[in-house]
Amino acid sequence: MVVIPMKQISEYNKQLTYLKNNVVKEKEISKALPDIFVVVFQKLRETSEENQIVRLITKIQQEEIKEIMDCQERFFKDQIDIIHKHTEEKERRYEKLLQEEHAKEIY
């Protein structure tokens, strides 16, 4: 008659000890969470700031590269125009020479 209640009391004591240990662990975790949250939030803020800096630097570099490419494009277009003008001038001279030769042959 006494053995069964003693076993139950023993089992209850084990469960109580287990639950007390769990409560202690949960309290420790609860105490640590705000500190962890602060650290994680700080890292998030730092990462966001770094990302903004990287975006800004990237935008500045993109503008510089675009400016350089525009300058190169203008330079090469100017060179192409110069080449076309020289070619046209040479073609005019050649045509003029052909006409003069043709006129000499006729007379």
Q: What is the pLDDT of residues 49-84, one digit of tens each?
A: 999 999 999 999 999 999 999 999 999 999 999 999
Q: What percent of the chain has pLDDT over 90?
A: 80
**C-alpha 96: how far from chain center:** 61
> Helix (H, G, I), strand (E, B), or coil: what is residue 2?
coil
- State phi, psi for 2 to the nearest 5 degrees: -85, -25
> Tokens 């240990």 identify what position?
21
